Amino acid sequence: MNGSKHQLGCTDRLSRRKFLAAATAATAIVSTSSTCRAVDANDRLKVAFIGTGGRGGSNLRTLAATESIDVVGLCDVDARFLDNAAEEFPAAQKFRDFRRLYDTIGNDVDAVVVSTPEHSHAYATMPALQLGKHVYCEKPLAYNIHETRRVTRAAADANVATQMGTQIHASKNYHRVVELIQSGAIGNVTEAHVWVSRAWGLQSEADSIKHKDIVFVQDRPTESMPAPEYLDWDLWLGPAPSRPFHHVYFPGPKWYRWWEFANGTMSDLGSHWNDLPYWALKLDAPRTVESFGSPPHPEIAPASMTAVYEYGPRGDLPAVNLTWYQGSHKPDLWKAGEIPKWGNGVLFVGTEGMLLSDYGKHVLLPENKFADFRPPKPFLPAPSSHHEQWLLACRGEGTTGSPFSYAGPLTEANHLGNVAYRVGEKITWDAEKMQCVGCPDADPMIRREPREGWSLG
């Protein structure tokens, strides 16, 4: 992907006056399409929110604070969050089941914000795209590769404004790192290393305490528990296979470690951290992926693991290896003290030096070599906030930083790291056929049939 086509942004809120001023004289240029169902600059956006607690509540508050939208629909399987949101937005219709939301007001909304658990992202998003509505969906874009590909294609067909909720993509720091890498500040990059310190998932009880995991569990519970009165557990399960309620799955993000509901740290934090090298190095589909860690568990994602991606040449860019480390795993350069021991980081290794970055800062290495370095002038579009990009794009003004055309392939690559880990062998990826070559054991991890009553259409 060409990074120069994707805007970045800061985190300032958008006032009604600023929003309407910026949106005037709008013509549709959204994602990769030249025409779009844009809302007129003088009209308020009618937005429905699917998921109103946690990230959903944050998205609701942030977008409603712009004073440029009307909240017309609220949906949550948790009555506590739904009732709280309804008190603040009494004019909005309430729903427990997002399928009923689409049946009832689907034709009357302009845009939808999806902030559900990972396993239902695609099922909450696809109806909006099929109705031609703009969509903001939290990361990762979908639960598996097949669902991700379906959503990506549906977004292209719908020709609407889309944004995946990787808010850090809009940071000034990421913006500048991309410019440095793409301008050749450290030469040709042949290695990239990404590490995150979070260690949640399958591990010993001692390590769980050490790493401040939010729940300790090493196997699927054999006993059931009554679901809280405020929770519709069957709707929470959605397309996932049925299983009895237990507190090790809920509340979120406990579900994040269970393969049937999510994909662990890789699909969560990988959406943020792998985003930077994916964008800066213009990555596409990996050729091969190999993962390392403790033996895979059939139910629970690992707390610590490593995944090595091989990418081929892209235009005039050389082949590159991207290595992901989570939990206790770290790059050799980090362990040897040859780079600063940041808790989380992205390291680019080039022919002329290295660049180390995290969310908020970056440094060129070795520092003495770059003491007199003169950075390039900014050449990417001026940054604007992640939510603001999407709102403006809904009105036909500019592009989003993480449209589904970009977020889809990034999400697929992250999922492949887990696929390689779970099958326990190096996989060769055929992106066109959506298959791991000669590895039929990977198929159930690439796609699954939803539970009866659920469909992507």
Assess whether 330 and 398 both reside in one domain. Answer: no
Phi, psi of 19, rounded to the nearest 5 degrees:
-65, -50
Q: Looking at the domain assignment, is residue 303 inside a domain? A: yes
| Rounded Cα–Cα distance for residues 143 and 37 (Å) | 27
- Region 53-71 average pLDDT: 96
Assess whether 21 and 127 both reside in one domain. Answer: yes
If phi > 0 it is left, if psi is from -120 to 50 it is alpha, else beta; for residue 212 that is left
23 confidence band (pLDDT: 50, 70, 90): very low
pLDDT at 409: 98
Q: Is the pLDDT of residue 327 over 80?
A: yes
The domain that holds 283 is classified in CATH as 3.30.360
How many Cα neighbours within 13 Å face the side chain of 387?
Answer: 22
Which residues touch 71 (CB under 8 Å, ≥6 apart)?
47, 48, 49, 60, 64, 89, 91, 92
Is the Cβ–Cβ distance between 379 and 232 less than 8 Å? no
41 confidence band (pLDDT: 50, 70, 90): low
Bridge partners (DSSP) of residue 345 are 195
Q: Is the pLDDT of residue 255 over 60?
A: yes
Assess whether 178 and 154 both reside in one domain. Answer: no
Q: Looking at the domain assignment, is residue 244 inside a domain? A: no
Q: Is it true that the peptide bond before 331 is cis, omega within 30 degrees of 0?
A: no
| Rounded Cα–Cα distance for residues 102 and 109 (Å) | 9
Assess whether 160 and 188 both reside in one domain. Answer: no
Assess whether 88 and 182 both reside in one domain. Answer: no
Assess whether 104 and 189 both reside in one domain. Answer: no
Q: Which helix (H) or strand (E) holds 173?
A: helix 172-182
Bridge partners (DSSP) of residue 93 are 73
Q: Is the pLDDT of residue 22 over 70?
A: no
Q: Which helix (H) or strand (E) holds 310?
A: strand 305-311
Q: How far is CA 300 from the centre of its chain?
A: 20
Assess whether 337 and 427 both reside in one domain. Answer: yes
- Region 280-298 average pLDDT: 97
Assess whether 94 and 126 both reside in one domain. Answer: yes
Q: In Å, what is the CA distance from 375 to each residue of 173, 361, 366?
A: 14, 15, 15
Is the Cβ–Cβ distance between 235 and 76 less than 8 Å? no
User: Scanning the structure block, which residue is given the tokens 């995150």?
Assistant: 196
For 312-418, where are the E strands, in sequence order? 320-326, 345-350, 353-357, 362-365
DSSP 389-413: HHHHHHTT-S--SS-HHHHHHHHHH
Q: Looking at the domain assignment, is residue 295 inside a domain? A: yes
Q: In Å, what is the CA distance from 105 to each residue of 49, 101, 108, 382?
A: 12, 6, 5, 36
**More confident of the two residues 71 and 2:** 71
Q: What's the farthest any 2 CA atoms get from each other in the chain?
A: 65
pLDDT at 382: 81
pLDDT, tens digit (0-9, with 9 covering 90-100), for 190-247: 999 999 999 999 999 999 999 999 999 999 999 999 999 999 999 999 999 999 999 9
Assess whether 140 and 19 both reside in one domain. Answer: yes
Q: Looking at the domain assignment, is residue 191 inside a domain? A: yes
Is the Cβ–Cβ distance between 357 and 217 less than 8 Å? no
How many Cα neighbours within 13 Å face the side chain of 226?
Answer: 3
5 confidence band (pLDDT: 50, 70, 90): very low
Assess whether 40 and 182 both reside in one domain. Answer: no
- Domain extent, residue 299, equals 172-203+264-379+411-446
384 confidence band (pLDDT: 50, 70, 90): confident
Q: Looking at the domain assignment, is residue 193 inside a domain? A: yes
Assess whether 85 and 186 both reside in one domain. Answer: no
Question: Based on the number of CB atoms within 10 Å of its own CB, is 454 exposed (0-12), middle (13-18) or buried (19 or more)?
Answer: middle
Domain count for the chain, please give it.
2
| Rounded Cα–Cα distance for residues 292 and 27 (Å) | 48
Is the Cβ–Cβ distance between 124 and 457 less than 8 Å? no
Within 10 Å of residue 457's Cβ, how many Cβ atoms? 9
Q: Is the pLDDT of residue 133 over 80?
A: yes
- Amino acid identity of 385? S
Assess whether 165 and 176 both reside in one domain. Answer: no
Structure pTM? 0.91
Q: Looking at the domain assignment, is residue 122 inside a domain? A: yes
| Rounded Cα–Cα distance for residues 80 and 86 (Å) | 10
- Region 347-361 average pLDDT: 98
pLDDT at 43: 83
pLDDT, tens digit (0-9, with 9 covering 90-100), for 141-169: 999 999 999 999 999 999 999 999 999 99
Q: Looking at the domain assignment, is residue 209 inside a domain? A: no
pLDDT at 15: 39
pLDDT at 91: 97
